[in-house]
Amino acid sequence: MVIPEHTAKAFDVDLQELSRMVAEMGGLTEKQIADAVDALSRRNPEQARQIVEADLEIDALQREIEAKAVLTIARRQPMAVDLRELLSALRLCSDLERIGDLAKNIAKRVLVLDVELHSSRVIRGVQHMGTLVLAQLKQVLDSYAGRDLEKALAVWNGDEQIDAMCTSIFRELLTYMMEDPRNITPCIHLMFCAKNIERMGDHATNIAETVYYMIEGHSMPDLRPKGDTTTFGGLRPG
Give CA separation, 23 vs 46, 56, 144, 146, in Å.
27, 17, 9, 12
Select the residue interacting with a copy of itself from 87, 117, 149, 154 (CB under 8 A). Answer: 87
Beta strand segments in the chain, E: none
- How far apart, in Å, do the first and last CA atoms of the chain sit? 66
In the set 111, 149, 154, 220, which binds a copy of itself (CB under 8 A)?
Answer: 111
CA separation for the pair 99, 193 (Å, rounded): 13
Q: What are the Cα distances from residue 79, in Å, to 89, 104, 174?
A: 15, 38, 53
Q: Select 151 or 195, whichever has its Cβ closest to a copy of itself.
A: 195
Of the candidates 63, 118, 121, 147, which one interacts with a copy of itself according to CB under 8 A? Answer: 63
Distance, in Å, from the CA atom of 114 to the CA atom of 77, rounded to the nearest integer, reads 55
CB of 226 to a copy of itself, least distance (A): 11
CA–CA distance, 33 with 195 (Å, rounded to integer): 13
Binding mask 195-224 for a copy of itself (x = CB under 8 A): x-----------------------x--x--
Please report whether residue 167 would count as binding a copy of itself according to CB under 8 A: no
Verify binding: residue 108, a copy of itself, rule CB under 8 A: yes
Q: Which residues are at the interface with a copy of itself (CB under 8 A)?
A: 56, 63, 66-67, 70-71, 73-75, 77-78, 83, 86-87, 90-91, 94, 98, 105, 108-109, 111-112, 174, 177-178, 181, 184-185, 188-189, 191-192, 195, 219, 222, 231-233, 235-236
